[in-house]
Structure 1
Amino acid sequence: MKGDVKWNANSGEISCINCSFYTCLNSSIVFNQSSESIYILKARPGVWLPVQKHRRWQDSPATAMLQDIAEDLLKRGKRFIGMLITVILGLIAIIASAAVAGVALQQSVQTTDFVADWHKESE
């Protein structure tokens, strides 16, 4: 753990704001000796350190990026399915309207033929 660390010796608590956790320390890590401390911590099994994260916890940034891409694709997939259902319902409505109009037109033609035949027979 690297950062501005405060250690309470009485309670054994460590508090640190804007600290960084590393699994490996080497010369590439920038370290300011006047304001920062480095502590080597050994995690006990079953002990959790409270951490305030600014992004989702992942093994690596690449894993986080892949998860973001997968979530975007899932959102787009849901949007596509919604649009597909809307189009299908619209087509059903248009076909139903055309069928009702066709039946009404057929009834109108039959009524006209019946009236014409009735008029002929009545003369």
Structure 2
Amino acid sequence: MATADSRGLSVDVSSLTGLHWLGIVAAVVSAAVHLLLGVRMLPSAMGVSFVLAGLGFLGAVALVLLDYRRRAVYAVGIPFTLVQILLWYYVNFVSLGKSFPADVGTLGAVDKLAQVVLVGVLIALLR
């Protein structure tokens, strides 16, 4: 099994299960939504935060593919993703007073579905 060690970094997909791939797809979907929205909002602070969140999801996917401290990535990924969900709800429906679920929008729905799936996958992988 090739892993990220002193021999250099190499991708190790042989140990990935269907559950891993579901998590990877969910993380990439969330990353894509964050990067798309973030780039649209640049150079605002919100745009920067969205781009950083998207890059965070992609970085985590890279670490999993490299088999680098996967359990730590799963453990950090759970609160990272839960905070994203809570902030999204707070910003949109508490601060801005939008109506839930009427004002969720397509990208919001796709992103939050991907994030809920991701949290479930990460919890399952940690067990």
TM-score (norm 2): 0.25
Q: Which structure shows the higher strand fraction?
A: 1
Higher relative contact order, structure no. (Cα contacts within 8 Å, ≥ 6 residues apart): 2
More helix per residue:
2
